[in-house]
Amino acid sequence: MIWTAVEEVLAAGLEQGAAPGLVAVVGDESGIIHQTSMGVREIPSGSPMTPDTIFRVASQTKAVNAIAVLQLVERGLLNLSTPVGDILPDFDLIQVIAGWDGEVPRLRAPKTRARVHHLMTHTSGLTYDVLHPLARRYLLATGTPMPSSAKMACFASPMVVEPGTEWTYGMSADWTGRIVEAASGEKLDEYYRNHIFAPLGLEDICFDLNAQQETRLAPAYRRDASGDWIDTHFAWEPKPEFLSAGHGLFASAADYFAIQQVLLSGGESNGVRLLSQASVANMLSDHMGGIPVKTMPSTVPEFSEDMHIDPGATWGLDIMLTAEQLPGMRKAGSAGWAGTFNTFFWIDPQAKLAAALYMQTLPFFDSRALELSRDFERAIYA
């Protein structure tokens, strides 16, 4: 059968220790055309991975938030060129790390006011402590939490570079989520549900799982010193002070595919239009203006390996773009991204397909998980 080779690649990846289990989907503008689940969801019980398994999709939340932002732009409630501080005045209090006096940071006001566009391209100067040594040093010196803490105090985190000068992937999306709330007058979960999830008929993509969904949530595993999988017992803060547009969503593979389908189909899925074709084209256009999108080094290896960026990649509006095709993989003009627990997705408008691979392991960009994601992609295009 046509999908046998793909499934053989996935099975081999599990055999080689990429993850305890996985779910993979491939589809086109009409929907999912192949889905497979294999391995185990929960090791002690031996519960198998199933198509309806729920995953922490983490940074795949960012692409959903980009849809929300562009909807608000279409409604005339938001402009990407607006300074962030004009919408959220506390943003104008954010400073840039200028140096250190011993372990005491020196801060200065930025020379440029960051705009909404800077947040969505990760050129605001903000980042994550796990991916930038300067942010990590500041966190350790001051105790300022990062977004994973779910504490509002994380929004006091400073910039590590001047806005508009470098791609420093990170917590910009959490500020953008607050902008969605300010512009719409709705809480983030309400906005997503009312304007994205409910119109598409999605029930297994959300910020807060119900009791039945909890039974389908895959635990997050890591390898111990001997290479055996152990449960990290990872859980997001149950009572967050804010909802994270950068990492907060849970989803099944099928429900997230509906998001991919919207982008692949120029703004609609199964006859439901969420965005205009022009807005999707804008989201999937290169917005970097020559600023390179580079691999970011890990500062917390147990949580994330170095965040690898493929050669020729660039950035749209909260989504990575493929500017140069890699041999045997997605075409130039494709878009996609990943999530902390080694989930990977992409859409390829030229080939008219979309695909995703879901695992639940740490650290992010684990070498074996990354290799399997690439083998999966090559098997599809082969």
Q: pLDDT tens, position by position, for the chain (382 residues)?
A: 679 999 999 999 999 999 999 999 999 999 999 999 999 999 999 999 999 999 999 999 999 999 999 999 999 999 999 999 999 999 999 999 999 999 999 999 999 999 999 999 999 999 999 999 999 999 999 999 989 999 999 999 999 999 999 999 999 999 999 999 999 999 999 999 999 999 999 999 999 999 999 999 999 999 999 999 999 999 999 999 999 999 999 999 999 999 999 999 999 998 999 999 999 999 999 999 999 999 999 999 999 999 989 888 999 999 999 998 889 999 999 999 999 999 999 999 999 999 999 999 999 999 999 999 999 999 999 9
Q: Is residue 176 part of a domain?
A: no
The neighbouring-strand residues paired with 262 are none
Annotated catalytic sites, by residue? 59, 62, 169
**Domain extent at residue 33:** 4-75+181-381
161 domain residue, yes or no: yes
Burial category of 5 from C-beta neighbours within 10 Å (exposed 0-12, middle 13-18, buried 19 and up): exposed
Together in a domain, 194 and 234: yes
Q: Which residues of 170-182 are buried (b: 16+ CB within 10 A; e: fewer)?
A: bbbbbbbbbbbbe
Cis peptide before 363 (omega within 30 of 0): yes
> What does the DSSP 8-state code read for residue 313?
E
Query: What pLDDT was estimated at residue 311?
Result: 84
pLDDT tens column, 209-232 = 999 999 999 999 999 999 999 999
For position 260, which CATH number holds? Answer: 3.40.710.10
Cα(111)–Cα(162) distance, integer angstroms:
7
The kind and range of the H/E element at 33 are strand 31-42
Final residue in a domain of this structure, among 170, 197, 222: 170
Q: Is there a single domain that holds both residue 14 and residue 122?
A: no
How many domains does the structure of the chain reveal?
2
Residue 194's closest CA among 212, 206, 209?
206
Same domain? For 34 and 162 the reply is: no
Position 345: which residue type?
Answer: F
What angle is formed at CA 241 by the lines to CA 240 and CA 243, rounded to 5 degrees? 65
Which amino acid makes up residue 86? D
Residue finishing a domain among 170, 200, 228? 170
pLDDT in tens, 311-335: 889 999 999 999 988 899 999 999 9
Instruction: Single out the residue in 140, 170, 200 at which a domain terminates.
Output: 170
309 lies in the same domain as 377: yes
Q: How far is CA 129 from the centre of its chain?
A: 16
What is the three-class DSSP state of 60?
A: helix
How far, in Å, CA of 291 to CA of 93, rounded?
Answer: 25
Lookup result for tokens 């294999």: 38
Q: Which pair of structure tokens corresponds to residue 149?
A: 């803490």
- 48 is a domain residue: yes
Instruction: Please enumerate in sequence order all residues whose Cβ is within 8 A of that of 262, keeping only pairs 6 or more positions apart, or say none.
Output: 67, 200, 268, 269, 274, 275, 280
Residue 66 and residue 21 share a domain:
yes
Residues 283, 263 within the same domain: yes
Angle between helices 61-74 and 172-184 (to 10 degrees): 40
Reduced to 3 states (helix: H, G, I; strand: E, B; else coil), residue 185 is: coil
